[in-house]
Structures are given as structure tokens and as C-alpha cells.
Amino acid sequence: MSDHLIQVDVARPRRLPERAMTLDAAERRRRVGVAACLVSAAGFGVLPILGKTAFDAGVGPLGLLLTRFGLAALVFWGVVAAVRPARPALRWLLAGLLMGFAGYAVEAALFFLALERIDASLTELLLYAYPALVTAAAVARGRERLSGRLAGALLLASGGLVAVLAGSLALGGDVAGFALGLSAAAVYAGYVLAGERVVAVVHPLLLAALVSTGAAAAFTLAGWAGAPLNLPATGSAWGVVGLIALAGTVVPMAALFVGIQRVGAPTASILSTAEPVVTVALALLLLGEALSPVEALGALAVLAAVRLLQAPAAASPPPGGVGAEPELACA
């Protein structure tokens, strides 16, 4: 009996700490992942605010994007050289470059051209129509069934956009800016859908380097073709652009990858909805931009639609589908 008691006394201290250590490690991993996703949302959320600051410093939208993606590409290729991810077949490398050249570059140009005309908060909210557009395209292609949840989310998003537009027009908003912002959302939705297979094959850091390089090449060609770039001309302008490249591009993209690794794409996608909230709050505090009651109501409807679309992903996200959106950058 005494031997049995001794065995129990010895075993218990060994098992409980190991289990506690496992739980603590899992909880720390989850907390790091959540924090990384929120850092990513904050970085992308501050991007429109920094864009407005760059415009005030005399930098044009295309010049801003050329330097943004050029600097980001240099940093990402440095990280790729250090990490040495697996190299996929040449066709996937070319596909990544094409995503940046013909997809992300077009979306970013439309986004920043809209930002030049309308408020930062409104521009960001318009971009967040893209999850509803991705879902609508998936339904139209027969990849998703139009359930009551999806139908409700699409109605919420559509009604929210109508409310945002009505509120903006009532205040004398720029119709062209609104159209540019909504076009950016449409192009980004296409970028997400077209990039599904590439995301599944190419390491995310390598893909970020390829996309940034492709986008930088697109804006370089635009400059050679005679498009006005208005590159940074002062130290302060270069400082803002450098901050956009690092704090508004590299850090949030890298943080998002860290977050996805630790909490998964579905949770990361839900946490990413903090991005427009950050933009609206900073636009109010730093730029004096305030949404009208009608615009605010529309904004809440759009965000509610995004959350509704992402909610079921926690159970079983479709591979490469809507649940995989966070693996691609935003804005």
C-alpha cells in the first residue's frame, strides 16, 4: 500500500505541470497570434491616414505606390533570402509577379486615387465591400450555395453601401472618388479569387515579395509611359513614404502571416475587421473626418455583413475560398 501511495505522489507532480505547461504554451501561442492580427489590422488601418499625409507633402498617388512597393519588395526579398522558403515551379513564380502587376497594382492605384478625392474613412469602408463581392462571385460560379446567411450578408452589404453613398452625396461627396473606391473593392475581389491557387502553392513571404515586385514594376512602367508620378522630393516626404512601406505594408503583412500560423485564417479574418475601425477612429482624431449618421449606419451594415460572411469559417473554412482572404494583403 505504501508503495502505491508513493507512486501516486510521485506521478501527480510530473503530470500536472506538463499539462499546465502545454496549456500555457497553447494560450501564449494564441495570444501572440491575436496580437499579431491586431497589429496587422492597425498597420493596414493607418495606411489611408499616412496616404493623406503623403499627399499633403506633395507626393502623387502613383509615385507613392512606386516607392511603397519598391521599398517593400527590397525588405521582403531580404527576408526571403534569410528564411529560404521552398521554391515552387517557375509558372507559380510568374503567377505571383502577375498578381502584383495586374491585380494588386491596379487595386492599389484605384484605392489611392479614391483617397485623393474622398475621406480616408470612406475610402476604407468602400474597400471592405470586397468580401461581399467575393461571396457573390462564388455564388454566381456555383461554388457557394445561396443560404439565408449569405443572402442576408449580401443584402446588408448592399444596403450599407447605398447608405454610405447617399450620406456622402448629401454632404457633397465626390462621385468619381466613390466610384474609384468601389472599383478598388471589385478589383481586389477579383485578385482574391484569381490568387486562390497561387496562395495554396507559394510560401506567403515569397508571395509577398513577388506581389510587391510585380506592383513596383507596374508603376515603373506607368512612369516610363508618361504617367505623372510626383515622387517624394523632400526628406519629410520620403519619411512618410518609408513609414508607409514599413508600417503600412511590410509589418502588417508579416504580422498577418504570423497571426494566421498561430490562430488560423478564419480567426485572422475576423480580427482583420478591426482595420476599418482603426481607419475611421484615426481619421476622426487626426484628420477631423467624421461620418454622418447615415454614413455611420451604412458603415455598421457593411461591417456586420463582413462578420456574418466570416462567422462560419471558424468551423470549416473552404480551402482557398473566402476563409483564406487574409493571406492576401489589403489596400
Check residue 22 and give its pLDDT: 66
| Closest by CA position to 154, among listed 108, 275, 162 | 162
All three cell numbers of 126, joined, read 468602400
Q: Is the pLDDT at 320 greater than 60, yes or no?
A: no
As a whole number of angstroms, the distance between CA 231 and CA 241 comes to: 10
Residue 204: inside a domain: yes
Residue 278 lies in a domain: yes
Does 323 score more than 50 pLDDT?
Answer: no
Total domains, the chain: 1
**Domain contains 21:** no
CA distance 178 to 226: 26
The verdict on residue 26 lying in a domain is: no
* Helices 2-56, 120-127: inter-axial angle, 10-degree rounding: 120
Torsional sign, CA 185, 316, 30, 307: positive
Three-state DSSP class for 31? helix
* Residue 244: inside a domain: yes
What confidence score (pLDDT) does residue 19 get?
56
Query: How many percent of the chain have pLDDT more than 90?
Result: 43
Q: Is residue 180 part of a domain?
A: yes
Lowest mean pLDDT among 46-55, 100-109, 125-134, 206-215: 125-134
Q: Is residue 280 part of a domain?
A: yes
Cell 489589403 found at: 330
Residues 196 and 320: beta-carbon distance below 8 Å: yes
User: Domain range holding 183?
Assistant: 32-327
Query: Is residue 15, in this structure, part of any structural domain at all?
Result: no
How many residues are present in the chain? 331
One-character DSSP codes across 2-38: HHHHHHHHHHHHHHHHHHHHHHHHHHHHHHHHHHHHH
Q: Write the DSSP symbol of residue 318.
A: P
Beta strands in 63-207 (DSSP E): none
Question: What pLDDT, on the 0 to 100 scale, is given for residue 241?
Answer: 96
CB 183: neighbour CB atoms within 10 A?
18
pTM of model > 0.85: no
Least confident of 150-154, 217-221, 327-331: 327-331
pLDDT reading at 254 higher than 90: no
